[in-house]
Structure formats: structure tokens, C-alpha cells
Amino acid sequence: MHWRKFNGEALNLPIKDAVAETIIRETSNGIKLKVCIGTDSQVKGSDTEFATVIVFLREHNGGFMFIHNEKTKQKYHIKERMLAEVAMSIDIAYQLCDLFIAYNVEMEVHADINTDPHFKSNDALKEAMGYILGMGFAFKAKPEAFASSCCADKVCN
């Protein structure tokens, strides 16, 4: 998996090492961190592109993110695509959760799923919430799920 910073700079370490290094650097500077993980997708012709982000929020001091993009030719129904986004976010959260526990960093998984039943993505809300909460992670959906609905949305080419 290739990860990058928002400015395009590649992360040359495995993601777990890059996140650990980031947590150590920020906390040693007295910064309290919160991490939000989310994924968004866009369908463009025969391609579906997914963007997963790890957003680091610095208490009272802005934030930054790491980004991973991937494309597939696989066709998805809307509910299936929403759950694929959630699965990608959970995969990263699971890989990193021991770091967040060890360094006492609060973490949330954000799902780009609307809580309003008038939107098609709402069909996946119950399953996504059950999946995320069942894994032991804090869960946010739209409109509170900024990591997926704003951050990942902006970097989904």
C-alpha cells in the first residue's frame, strides 16, 4: 500500500511505522492528538476509486492527514460500495489500534453514510454501524463524519 501526505510527498515507511513516528513526534511536542479514519469512493466510467485517510487532529492546533488511493474495475451497488468503504477504514484502524491504545490517542472511524433515510447511502447505515462498533471502534456517520465525507472526498481523484 502506498501512502502519501496531502502535499503529495510519499511516506517511505510502512504505514504503521509512519503513524507511530507521527504520534511520538507530536506527543513529545506536547500536542494532544485525535485520529479519525475514513474512506470515500467515486465512480468514474468503469473505474471505482477509493481514498482512505488517516486524519490527525491536533488539539487547538489544526491537523494533517495521510492518504491512500486505489482504483478497481469492480462494479458495486451503492450499499456494497458503502460497506467496502467501511471495510477499508476498519482494516486500517485495526492495523493501527494497538498504537492508539499504547499512546492513549482517541480514534474514530468515519463512514460516508447519510443518517437521513432519504439518501441511498442510508441503506448501509445499520450494517456499517454494527461492523464498526462490533470491532470496538467509535463510529461517526454524516454529517459528523468529516474524515470520509470531506477529507477523503477531496483526495478521491
pLDDT tens profile 24-82: 999 999 999 999 999 999 999 999 999 999 999 999 889 999 999 999 999 999 889 99
pLDDT for 142 equals: 87
| Burial group, residue 115, by CB count within 10 angstroms (0-12, 13-18, 19+) | middle
User: Which are the contacts of 43, defined by CB distance < 8 A and separation ≥ 6?
Assistant: 76, 81
Helix (H, G, I), strand (E, B) or coil at 92: helix
CA–CA separation, 87 vs 101, rounded Å?
21
pLDDT for 116 equals: 84
The answer to whether residue 157 scores a pLDDT higher than 70 is: no
Q: Which domains does the chain have, with CATH numbers?
A: 4-155 (3.30.420)
Cell of 155: 483526495
Torsion (CA) 47, 156, 36, 90 in degrees, nearest 10 = 10
pLDDT for 64 equals: 96
Query: Considering just the CA atoms, what is the radius of gyration of the chain in Å?
Result: 15
pLDDT for 121 equals: 79
pLDDT for 80 equals: 92
> In the predicted model, what is the mean pLDDT of residues 78-100?
95
pLDDT for 16 equals: 97
**Percentage of the chain lying above the pLDDT 90 cut:** 70
The answer to whether residue 119 scores a pLDDT higher than 90 is: no
